[in-house]
A and B are shown apart, each in its own frame.
Chain A
Amino acid sequence: MAMLQQQQQRRDRIRLMLLLTPGLLWLVLFFALPLVIIVIYSFMTNDALGRVVYQPTLDNYITIFTQSLYINAYWRSIWTSVLTTVICLLLGYPLALFIARSPQQWRMPLLMLILIPFWTNFLVRIYAWQIILANNGLLNGLLEFIGIGRLSLINNEGATLIGLIYGELPFMVLPLYAAIDRFDFTLMEAAADLGASRVQAFLRIMLPMTMPGVVAGSVLVFIPTLGQFVVSELLGGAKVDYLGNLIQRLFLRANPINWPLGSAMAVLMMIVLLVLIMLYFRATTEEER
């Protein structure tokens, strides 16, 4: 009996290994290995021709922490990501709530409307925003028509923010919708019945219970926003440097290109993300307790 059981267990283990191997192999080859390379590069030296010289140094990190160009890019990207996440949350929560509370037959079509933009390439959509925001674009035409006159709507940080919020909003709405859809609205009636105003009921009952959706949405918005470079380049006019723009430039376009410094920036960005997200998780789960 015990023998049979052991045999069974051994066979299960082999089967598990076989199933896991392709995925593990993929992750090691295309995720762990490049990551290790980046970490190693970040401690190497760059020569005048932009080649990586295998000479260990901390110079790259020192450069980042001492030159305002780099430090400012971190602050700007973090601040912009926080702003984007908060605005997406403020816009997305009522939107998700509205969809979740719509009659059953309307919910799927409304969700589809949220998803439809994904059918078009992101770059194309950002070019479309250029057309809308341009100095002689659609929006300015409208503003002039109603007598407000043309405004400078593109090639500034506001345009970057608009583009980011536009692009990331669906990633906020979908997890929020999933969380709100699971929420039992009888609980809101129960809270009202026990003397809670609408605001109190929302803060004490609905928000804590939909917090998993808030957390998931925020993380999904924050992470890509921190490293983005397309929106700030195409809508922001590349006037100020965000993290993504700097890293992209260091890897591809700087003269000379500087992979070690770019790697150091990328490694630091990852650390910043990890720390921020851990802090966020801690703060939001505390609320639930």
Chain B
Amino acid sequence: MNDSIAIELRNVVKRFGDVVAVDHVNLQIRDGEFFSLLGPSGCGKTSTLRMIAGFELPTAGSILIHGREMGITPPHLRPVNTVFQSYALFPHMTVAQNIAFGLEMKKTPKAEIAQRVKEALDLVRLSGLEERRPRQLSGGQQQRVALARALVNHPEVLLLDEPLGALDQKLRKEMQLELKSLQARVGITFVFVTHDQEEALTMSDRIAVMNKGKVLQVGTPTEIYERPNCRFVADFIGETNFIDGLVIGRDGNYTVIETPDGLRFRGLATRPLSDGTAVTYSIRPEKVRLLAANGEVPIDGLAGTVLTVNYIGSDTRITVRINDRRTIDVWEQNTRSTLDRDEYWQPGEPAVVVCPPDNALVLSE
């Protein structure tokens, strides 16, 4: 029994009729961690969260919170609180009454309730709005009330179900940072459900990427982004160039693959692969380098022609055509503020793409 594990899921399965929503999930969420469940809609992340909260019971497997088996413990007896996607504030109560609700249910003394409600409001910077009704608040303010209402109970774990989904882009970014710093201050374990990979990368200590009810990879944001363990994770997080081929051998640390059109690439494999295995080679566009053609093609390089050049402010996104059937995307950071775009890549210009093997991955299904 490890004391630093806040939540443990052991072989958790959830079926709704014939649909398997959560398929043998094993997770260990550490104390004080900001942990994200990331995946597309329908991947089972919300069902997983709802099972931890107790709104749904697992079809099989067990959930432990700080080592205690939850079994069929109903939600109101679990040491966790939830921030709902829709906030679920009680419309007939004031902000203060909303926040006090959990403490009242625990029969906390009146004076202590008043004190803790005040502290919670300070924590989310909403002091002065005690007597407002939820409908008189903006989306961001409602979000903060929902947070305060959950945190005031000092839960062992805070569960957040896409809490930023209803906010506009700018507010969302602000709240991401605020949530992160709030979590650091209160030191409570956060389990955060989101389908937004950027959000997960920004906020999380660790991320579990889910698809079709299964956890595919658990790791830090860097691990998930730099070393995805399968094609789905590489595709879902960020953008990447995928190239299908067969393993033809090894070269030192690298695995060498060949494509049907005769191109060869070197990359890192997450596990040993025998020759002839069908694999997907993946390299992120910002890791690819683009060189002017001078007649020589270096190792890991491919000669091609610039197809399109898209300037998007921070980056320029260039698509290079290698042959009739294949293009490779390259993102170059705009480190110089040149207004003279004529000096830059032009469509039709010959160029060489270089794919450094240390930044490329060979993924098998």
Q: Give complex CA distance A189, B56 in Å.
A: 11
A189 touches B88 (CB 8 A): yes
Chain A, interface residues (CB within 8 Å), range: 10 to 19
How many Å lie between the Cα of A186 and that of B54 in the bound state? 14
Chain B residues, CB < 8 A from A204: 101
Residue of A nearest to B107 (CB): A195
Give chain A nearest CB distance to B144 CB in angstroms.
Answer: 16
Q: Is the interface of A mostly helix, strand, loop or mixed?
A: helix
Q: Please, which residues of chain B bring their CB within 8 A of the CB of A288?
A: 92
Chain A 57-98 near chain B by CB (<8 Å), digits 1 or 0:
000000000000000000000000000000000000000000
Once bound together, how far apart are the Cα atoms of A197 and B101, in whole Å?
Answer: 12
Q: Closest Cβ of chain A: how far from B191's Cβ, in Å?
A: 13
Comparing B76-84, B110-118, B279-287, the segment that makes contact with chain A is B76-84
A194-B74 contact given A189-B88, A204-B101, CB 8 Å threshold: no
Residues of chain B within 8 A (CB-CB) of A194 are: 76, 81, 101-102, 105, 149-150, 153
Tell which of A189, A191, A208, A209 touches B101, judged by Cβ atoms closer than 8 Å. A191
How would residues 337 to 364 of chain B score, 1 for a CB under 8 Å from any chain A CB and 0 otherwise?
A: 0000000000000000000000000000
A205 at the interface (CB under 8 A from B): yes
Which residues of B93-124 have CB atoms within 8 Å of chain A's CB atoms?
A: 101-102, 105-106
Asked whether, in the complex, the Cβ of B88 is within 8 Å of the Cβ of A186, the reply is yes
Q: How far is the CA of A204 from the CA of B91 in the complex (A)?
A: 12
Q: Which B125-170 residues sit within 8 Å CB-CB of chain A?
A: 149-150, 153
Is A196's CB under 8 angstroms from B101's CB? yes
* B105 pairs with A196, CB closer than 8 A: yes
**Residues of A close to B150: CB separation below 8 A:** 193-194
Residues of A within 8 A of B89 (CB): 190
Q: Which 4 A-B pairs have the closest CB atoms?
A: A195-B105, A194-B102, A190-B88, A192-B75
A189 touches B90 (CB 8 A): no
Q: A190-B88, A191-B101, A193-B53 are in contact. List 14 more A-B contacts (CB 8 A).
A: A186-B88, A187-B90, A189-B82, A189-B88, A191-B90, A192-B55, A192-B76, A193-B55, A193-B76, A193-B81, A194-B102, A195-B76, A195-B102, A196-B101
Q: Taking the nearest CB of chain B, how far is it from the CB of A89, in angstroms?
A: 20
Contact A209 B91 (CB under 8 A): yes
A184 within 8 A of B: yes
What chain A residues lie within 8 Å of B76 (beta carbons)?
Answer: 191-197, 201
Cβ of A7 < 8 Å from any Cβ of B? Answer: no
Once bound together, how far apart are the Cα atoms of A200 and B91, in whole Å? 17
- Of all chain A residues, the one with the shortest Cβ separation from B88 is A190
B153 touches A190 (CB 8 A): no
Q: For A191, what are the chain B residues with a Cβ–Cβ distance below 8 Å?
A: 76, 90, 101
Interface residues of B in 38-84 (CB under 8 A from A): 53-55, 74-77, 80-82, 84
Within 165-196 of A, Cβ neighbours of B (below 8 Å) are at 184, 186-187, 189-196
Q: Which residues of A contact B217 (CB under 8 A)?
A: none
Complex Cα–Cα for A193 and B74 (A): 9
User: Could you tell me the distance between the alpha carbons of A186 and B89 in the complex, rounded to whole angstroms?
Assistant: 9
**Which of chain B's residues 155-191 have a Cβ closer than 8 Å to chain A?**
none
Docked CA distance A208–B84 (Å): 21
Q: Give the distance in Å from the alpha carbon of A245 to the alpha carbon of B34 in the complex.
A: 72
